[in-house]
Amino acid sequence: MTDRLARARTTGILAVLRAPSPEHALRTAEAIIAGGVTGIEVTFSTPEAPAVIRELVSRHGDGIYVGAGTVTTTAQAQDAVAAGARFLVSPGTLPDLTRAMRDTGAVVMTGAMTPTEVMGALALGVDVVKIFPASLGGPSYLNALRGPFPDAPLMPTGGVRPDNLADWFAAGSVAVGAGGDLASSPSIAAEDWDDITRRARAFAAALAASRR
């Protein structure tokens, strides 16, 4: 049986990309990739997100793992996959939307925080339960969820930093979502691509260290 999460596991870090324009999104993605992080989640809070996804796929092909985030409608899910998205991420878990996301064939990651929400997401057959906002509980909360859900594919997003990356994986994360600590909004606004690349290098180094 094919492991649908093999690429997510290998990639390890999904950079949550929120940018004020398609141009900023592409420059940010390139800075992140230059730093060694190859998982890019283009959120629908970014203008023309499908066009950004399409361009990144055109430039890098299988060299990166590209998906769409902040998916809140069926149309967004379909447009993202048509553009080449390999995975879809929603901040919550709505039954009809989740089913529509699954129907695209892409890897589906939907948000949950409480045990009840985790159970609901798993019952709908999602590939990954995104624990969000994970900053509320930290790695210890993810570890606590392992009690009732020892085999559930969990991905924390929010509060993930290079200095605690190893703790998240020790708690059993499939992968992690990294937002502002990686693709910093002030750095994007200032077009400080070197800072974003530096941050990406720190995340990539922490991931490598966690796997030794």
What architecture (CATH level 2) is domain 6-210?
Answer: Alpha-Beta Barrel (3.20)
Among 41, 55, 117, 191, the active-site one is 41
What tokens were used for 43?
A: 């959120």
Q: In what order do the strands lie in the sheet with 128-131?
A: 154-156, 128-131, 107-112, 87-90, 65-69, 39-43, 13-17, 176-178
125-181 pLDDT, tens digit each: 999 999 999 999 999 999 999 999 999 999 999 999 999 999 999 999 999 999 999
Among 23, 48, 117, 130, the active-site one is 130
User: What is the reported pTM?
Assistant: 0.96
Alpha-carbon gap, residue 84 to 142, rounded angstroms? 31
CB of 167 within 8 A of CB of 139?
yes
What tokens were used for 91?
A: 């901040």
- Average pLDDT of 180-200? 96
Alpha-carbon gap, residue 142 to 121, rounded angstroms? 16
Assess whether 191 carries a catalytic annotation: no
pLDDT range class, residue 212, cuts 50, 70, 90: confident
Amino acid residing at 85: A
Phi-psi region of 89 (alpha: psi -120 to 50; beta: other; left: phi over 0): beta
Assess whether 117 carries a catalytic annotation: no
